[in-house]
Structure 1
Amino acid sequence: MTPADEILDIVDEHDEVVGQAPRGEATARGLRHRAVFVEARDAAGRLFVHRRTATKLVFPSHYDMFVGGVVGAGESYDEAALREAEEELGVSGLPRPTPLFKFLYEDEGTGHSWWCSVYEVRCDLPVRPQVEEVDLHVFLTDAELEDRLGDRAWVPDGLAAYHRLRSFRAGGAGPAA
């Protein structure tokens, strides 16, 4: 099965399931579904940052400061967060990611829309990123990441989640823009 064939729950503006569709169809038709974003930090507190492969269905060759992906049909956000983090980092035995907040991502220009659940996890294990998902990777401090935000193509949903996470940690509401 290819990633485009993966079955997803289609959800409404309240994150209630209203149907199912293959991932490729959901993307092509702009059907709202679910995704997880996991901020992964190493033992030194540095953030895992990577460039997505050119073969990714959405935002190919873009940089991202989260690991994660779509939530499969019938799968919980928590299950997807652990599965996606372990897959993309290439580890097993990762602690269960801690949920932080949820928000609705909508991009009128592309028609993309998904409910996003944001998590954090500490990964003290040596990473072996999944070659189908990750083209290259590095661990960066927060300051190093901030320095690089303006000079690369970043996934727009990841940037939205990143800015909400910064606001959340500063005492603001996570879902606010």
Structure 2
Amino acid sequence: MSGVNKNIVILISGSGSNMAAIVEAARVRHWQARFGARVAAVISNKVAAQGLAWASEQGIATAALDHTQFESREVFDAALMHEIDRHEPSVVVLAGFMRILTPGFVQHFEDRLINIHPSLLPAFTGLKTHQRAIDMGCRFAGATVHRVTSELDHGEILEQAVVPIIRGDTAQTLAARVLAQEHVIYPRAVEKLLAGG
């Protein structure tokens, strides 16, 4: 990731708590001064996503592309690609972006596209990860930051956090503790990419 400016584009669908953690890390850890890096834009597939208002308040460019207004997944992804490319990103961060992306989209941003998943991949790909971990009797859950490939929830693992499953945990209580760790490891993974490692 050479060049003076390293732009980060973050995609969200909801409150954007991981997005906010990354924006705060960029400020507190001086990514602009250290890496020439900044969060250039936050983009959502939902016009009413709460995270858009928060990002806008931080002075970050925002955009919303309502996926329901596009005739196909491919057409939506093409429009999304165009919107992202306007910011010339070094890193594209999926932060609670609840869309399965087309192979063309993934290929276009190859080696620049990362995601966070609420399990210790390769275990529990897909949805309902916390309940599945509890149902299987796992002693540990966690979160994984990984590069995005055309295969769902696969790709090189960049960071992981382990969270113990406590007796009496529900999917909701476990999810809350995992999310707290996501807010630690996602900024760390982005920073490592910016640093070239």
Q: TM-score, normalised by structure 1?
A: 0.25
Larger radius of gyration: 2
Q: Which has the higher contact order (CA 8 A, sep 6+)?
A: 1
Q: Which has the higher strand share?
A: 1
Q: Which has the higher helix share?
A: 2
Q: TM-score, normalised by structure 2?
A: 0.23
